[in-house]
A and B are shown apart, each in its own frame.
Chain A
């Protein structure tokens, strides 16, 4: 048991980009895992909601990666890091549950397309998903680094990925929750759901592009 810092939208799908809400409000497949395992929930703020608003377009990292958005994410990350620091100081195990494929909340898969911009039209299925972290997650990593705190183990909700499977998603989250105490990096920090798109379900994200299903 420990504390799971969860992406805002996992408790509140109303914060999602238009056409992105998978359910009315709480995304229970993730909450159910945490409840079953007895983990405490800490909801992080949604970095995109207050900055780009409810009417935002689906976006990739390159469109959001501005100095102003970085500063916004840094401010939010400091707030989150303050809570993580509190929990770590109490000796509690901490994990971070993000949103795979998100330009902000991806933990091992984000969205990238350097050519996207201008008139918002692009071929459906453009290969935008790529290995890496979203901007907000990067800023959380930096904020924890400034405090000398190891980045926690991570897992992600995988709805946006082409091969999303709820059972695999649950198994992946359970695997990270059950891994036990220890820093994320070098342990399971580069977590990929078992059976996911990594080579032979190896738990290692593949290099380069990942089949897309949805953006933000």
Chain B
């Protein structure tokens, strides 16, 4: 069996960067290149009764990752996210609204190693 390859790094990503328009910024591709996982935020045009439960689940999962020292960042934003995170006691992570793919990649690669990665003896990056 191969060793577990997780990076302990997760980006909460606005839908417009997960499903970018033609020529738009593809944050999933940047996450692949930088070795980050992605948690997708609900599309901006979803009504509250659809987006609310999804944001609650994002927050609950973010709480579990935070409790274990995984690194979180926010790419873009989503109305209601801060409130959903607050209900679980999780602060809004450091974030970026990137102007370019290169800028996003530099942001992801420049983050410090999360506590969980250090505990697991993983090198940064």
Contacts and interface: CB of A to CB of B under 8 A. Distances in A.
Q: Do A and B come from one complex?
A: yes
Nearest to A83: B50
Given A14-B7, A79-B57, A82-B49, A26 B38 contact: yes
Interface string B28-39: 100110011111
Given A19-B4, A28-B32, A46-B61, A14 B10 contact: yes
Interface in B59-110: 60-61, 63-65, 68, 70
Contacts of A42: 40
Nearest to A52: B64
Contacts of B31: 25-26
Given A41-B19, A45-B61, A53-B64, A22 B38 contact: no
A187 interface: no
B25 interface: no
B9 A25 contact: yes
A14 B37 contact: yes
A49 B6 contact: no
A76 B68 CA distance: 22
Contacts of A12: 10, 37-39
A25 B53 contact: no
B113 interface: no
A20 B4 contact: yes
Mostly helix, strand, loop or mixed at chain B's interface?
mixed
B53 A11 contact: no
> Among A11, A15, A25, A49, which residue has the most Cβ atoms of chain B within 10 A?
A25
Given A14-B65, A15-B61, A25-B32, A86 B6 contact: no
Given A14-B10, A49-B61, A82 B53 contact: yes
Contacts of B10: 12, 14, 25
A129 interface: no
B32 A31 contact: yes
Interface in A70-89: 75-76, 78-79, 82-83, 86
Contacts of A25: 6-7, 9-10, 31-32, 35-38
B13 to A, nearest CB: 9
Contacts of B18: 11, 41, 43
Contacts of A76: 57
A111 to B, nearest CB: 16
Interface of B: 1-10, 18-19, 28, 31-32, 35-40, 42, 46, 49-50, 53-54, 56-58, 60-61, 63-65, 68, 70
13 contacts: A8-B61, A12-B38, A15-B61, A19-B3, A22-B5, A24-B36, A25-B10, A28-B32, A54-B65, A78-B53, A79-B54, A82-B50, A82-B53
